[in-house]
Every structure is written in structure tokens, then in C-alpha cells.
């Protein structure tokens, strides 16, 4: 008997405040035209001050559980992918576990940056296949806005906040994760990094979260296309499935041009690639599950559909999963949980983020990023 991880439900939570390209262009030397042409992004979400990754994750988790007709006490395992945890420890997953009323099983974080959700899906899938758990909740959640340097046009236009989750259930049917490929170009890890978060900066006068984002966009672009298209080919070949048999590609979305290049190289038609980067930008680990939830809502996922989910992220991690969807494409129940209303306009939120970083009390005293 082969056990597989069937997707029993999913749910997303996106902060209500939106920042458009035009609003950013009012503050930075950029334009809606440049951002759309180079990235495909039109707007992104920003969480309210005080909201944490665990808050976004909890709302997404509650919605996913409702859609599966379950609650926290039905879960055996919780894996949360994030690069922006509430704390380095305890794990953000532990807080979500407690708040969900989950009483048994493990809860821990996985960190593979933008590829985190797909890596977390592998961890949960393996646990279900081995019989270590019968049910699992996999969450991708990111709160990037407080760490963002909103005065740097190179990065400020690219990212957004969000969260989404899927519930997995062990099944003997030929459904769920059929094949996976995970990899990492560790030699290229330095071409994408955020300075100011991590032990490398401890005791060097750097305040945690006063960050500097550094990346070599064109090199990341090349590796992303190579890693994602290679992982797609690898998984499809192992399953003896042709690209034309894939019903929908639900990829990590960092740049529309990357998606077009991956599709071309992996012989996947763009009409079958789900794209929502225009609404959210890159939400790191939240991107793939949010896209999956929206593809379902838009009825782009049919019963029995074959899905391909490629991703890449810092590390540089790359991956692809092939998932056979089950028979149910509508939620069993819905949940309307919301965070308290956010009265602050998005531009005010980012202005306050910048002010907090540049206050004399918050500024790093030396040149800590050398
Ligand atoms: N608005 C206007 N001009 C800008 C902006 C902006 N927001 N950002 C950069 N530019 C300028 C640059 O300064 C440069 O000007 P110059 O020619 O006078 O020197 C010019 O635009 C071209 O810059 P490039 O970096 O060559 O632009 P590119 O076409 O490579 O696009 C981008 C940059 C969108 C980041 C792209 O390289 C990319 O998507 N890379 C892969 C994804 C990525 O790196 N994402 C961020 C890391 S997170 C992750 O994806 C896992």
C-alpha cells in the first residue's frame, strides 16, 4: 500500500492594504511602466503595523482548515515556511500551533526563502508517506514590509506580504504529490542576501531587522530559469509525463519574464501558467500557496488536474513538485476570519517603517555591513 498526500483544503490571507506602482513612483525614482515591463508587478500588499508573520499564517491556516472541514485538533503535523519569522526561536509554527488548538504532533519552521513552501510540502509529504502523520498543515507566510528598505528602488518594488496554507491528508489514491525535485546552488548563495538578519551580524552593532538587501538580479534570473526549468523536466521525465499533459503550472512568481523563460525552456505553454504577480509581487514562501488558492477560486484547477509547481529562492534553492489534484475543487466550509481593520494608508505604513529605521536610536552605530 502506497500512501500519498492528498490536498484536502487550502486558504490564503492577504493584508488589506495595497501599494500600487504609481504610489511607489511618487516616493522613488521609478515608474509604473518600468516595474510592469521589467517584472510584471502592478501592486503589492503591506501588513498593518504590529501584525506578525504568525498573524497572517494563523488566518491562512484557519481558512485552509475550514476548507478541509477540519480544525486544529485534527492535525498531526504543522510545517511553516518563512524567511521572516516572528522570532528566530521559538519557531513561528509553535505559536500558530498553540493558537489553532493543535494538541498533538510536531510544529516547526522551514527556511528555504522563496522556495520554502515547496520544501515544506516535501517535508510534510514525506511524513505522511512514512505514516508518521495522517494529516498535516503546510503554511507559507511572509512579512517582508518591515524588513524592506523602502528607499531602495532596486528591491522596494519587488516584494509584498501574504500567507497561504494547505491541508494534507494521507490517502491511498494516486493523488497528491507524485514527484518532487529539490536542489540548491550553494556556490551562488551570496548573489541574493539580506544583511542585518542573522548571527553573522550579532555583536557587531547591527540592530536586527535594519537590513540591506543585496542581489545580482541578472544572475538570479539565469539561475532561476535554469533551476526551475531543469526541476520541471526532471520531475516530468521521472513520471513519464509530457509537458503538454500538465494542466496548470503554479510557479513561484518573482518576475513575469522569468516565468515566460521557464515556460519556453520547459515546453509549457504560457496559457497554462498561473500568473498573479501583477497583484502581489514576490511574497517569497507565500507566493506558491497563494497562487494555488487563487487558481482554485478561479476554477483553473479541475478535478484530477495535473499540477506542476516550480520554485526558486535564496540559497539559491530550486525545486518542482508534480501534484495530482483530487476530485474536490470547492471548499467544504469557508472561514471569514480577519485581522482587525487597518485604518492606516499603505504609504503611511511604509513611511513609518523608514522613519523607524532612520531614527538615531535605531541607526547602526558603525559600518556593520562590511
Ligand atoms: N525603477 C527604475 N529603474 C530601475 C529600478 C526601478 N525600480 N530598479 C533598477 N533600475 C535601473 C537600474 O539602476 C539600471 O539602471 P542603469 O542601466 O542606469 O544602470 C536599469 O534599471 C537596469 O537594471 P537591471 O538590474 O539590469 O534590470 P533588470 O532588467 O535585470 O531587472 C530585476 C531587475 C527585475 C530585479 C531582474 O533582474 C530580476 O527579476 N531578477 C531576478 C529576480 C530577482 O532578482 N528578484 C529579487 C531577489 S528575490 C528572489 O527572486 C528569490
pLDDT digits (tens, 9 = 90+) for 128-155: 999 999 999 999 999 999 999 899 999 9
Asked if residue 278 lies in contact with residue 291, where contact means CB atoms within 8 angstroms, the answer is: no
Residue 19 clears pLDDT 70, i.e. is over it:
yes
- Is the shortest distance between the CB of 114 and ligand 1 below 6 Å? yes
Closest residue to atom 8 of ligand 1, CA basis: 154
Ligand 1 nearest-atom number relative to CA 157:
7
Cα 225 to averaged position of ligand 1 atoms, centre (Å)? 16
* Catalytic residue positions, numbered: 114, 252, 282
Residue identifier of the C-alpha nearest atom 32 of ligand 1 = 217
Which ligand 1 atom is nearest residue 217's CA? 37
- What is the CA(244)–ligand 1 centre distance, in A? 32
Atom index in ligand 1 nearest the CA of residue 30 equals 1
Show Cβ contacts of residue 74 under 8 Å, excluding neighbours closer than 6 positions.
65, 135
CA of 32 to the centre of ligand 1 (A): 14
Helix ranges (DSSP H) in the chain: 21-25, 32-39, 53-68, 92-100, 116-129, 153-156, 217-239, 256-265, 277-280, 287-297, 346-358
Q: Which residues contact 219 (CB under 8 A, 6 or more apart)?
A: 188, 191
Looking at 2.70.98.70, 3.20.20.70, 3.40.47.10, 3.40.50.2000, the CATH number of the domain 4-330+340-358 comes to 3.40.47.10
Provide the pLDDT for residue 365.
46
Cα separation, 213 vs 284, in Å, equals 14
- Give the position of cell 504543522: 78
Q: Quick one: cell of 86?
A: 516572528
> Tens of pLDDT along 198-231?
888 888 877 777 888 888 989 999 999 999 999 9
Domain ranges of the chain: 4-330+340-358
Amino acid at each position: 500500500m502506497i500512501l500519498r498526500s492528498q490536498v484536502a483544503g487550502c486558504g490564503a490571507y492577504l493584508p488589506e492594504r495595497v501599494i500600487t506602482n504609481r504610489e511607489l513612483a511618487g516616493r522613488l525614482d521609478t515608474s509604473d511602466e518600468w516595474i510592469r515591463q521589467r517584472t510584471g508587478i502592478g501592486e503589492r500588499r503591506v501588513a498593518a503595523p504590529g501584525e506578525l508573520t504568525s498573524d497572517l499564517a494563523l488566518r491562512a491556516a484557519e481558512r485552509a482548515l475550514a476548507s478541509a472541514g477540519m480544525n486544529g485538533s485534527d492535525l498531526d503535523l504543522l510545517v511553516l515556511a518563512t524567511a521572516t519569522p516572528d522570532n528566530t526561536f521559538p519557531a513561528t509554527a509553535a505559536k500558530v500551533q498553540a493558537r489553532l488548538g493543535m494538541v498533538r504532533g510536531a510544529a516547526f519552521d522551514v527556511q528555504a526563502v522563496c522556495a520554502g513552501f515547496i520544501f515544506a510540502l516535501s517535508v510534510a509529504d514525506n511524513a505522511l508517506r512514512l505514516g508518521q502523520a495522517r494529516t498535516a498543515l503546510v503554511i507559507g507566510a511572509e512579512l517582508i514590509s518591515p524588513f524592506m528598505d523602502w528607499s531602495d528602488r532596486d528591491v522596494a518594488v519587488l516584494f509584498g506580504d501574504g500567507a497561504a496554507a494547505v491541508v494534507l491528508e494521507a490517502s491511498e489514491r494516486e493523488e497528491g504529490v507524485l514527484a518532487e525535485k529539490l536542489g540548491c546552488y550553494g556556490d551562488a548563495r551570496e548573489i541574493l542576501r539580506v544583511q542585518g538578519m542573522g548571527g553573522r551580524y550579532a555583536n557587531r552593532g547591527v540592530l536586527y531587522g535594519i537590513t540591506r538587501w543585496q542581489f545580482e538580479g541578472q544572475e538570479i534570473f539565469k539561475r532561476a530559469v535554469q533551476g526551475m526549468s531543469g526541476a520541471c523536466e526532471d520531475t516530468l521525465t521521472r513520471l513519464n509525463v509530457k509537458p503538454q499533459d500538465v494542466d496548470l503550472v503554479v510557479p513561484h512568481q518573482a518576475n513575469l519574464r522569468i516565468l515566460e523563460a521557464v515556460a519556453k525552456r520547459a515546453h509549457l505553454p504560457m496559457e497554462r501558467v498561473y500568473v498573479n504577480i501583477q497583484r502581489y509581487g514576490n511574497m517569497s514562501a507565500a507566493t506558491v500557496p497563494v497562487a494555488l488558492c487563487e487558481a482554485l477560486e478561479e476554477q483553473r484547477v479541475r478535478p484530477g488536474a495535473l499540477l506542476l509547481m516550480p520554485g526558486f529562492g535564496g540559497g539559491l534553492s530550486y525545486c518542482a513538485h508534480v501534484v495530482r489534484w483530487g476530485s474536490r475543487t470547492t471548499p467544504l466550509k469557508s472561514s471569514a476570519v480577519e485581522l482587525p481593520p487597518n485604518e492606516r494608508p499603505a504609504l503611511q505604513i511604509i513611511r513609518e517603517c523608514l522613519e523607524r529605521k532612520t531614527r538615531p536610536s535605531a541607526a547602526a552605530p558603525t559600518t556593520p555591513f562590511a
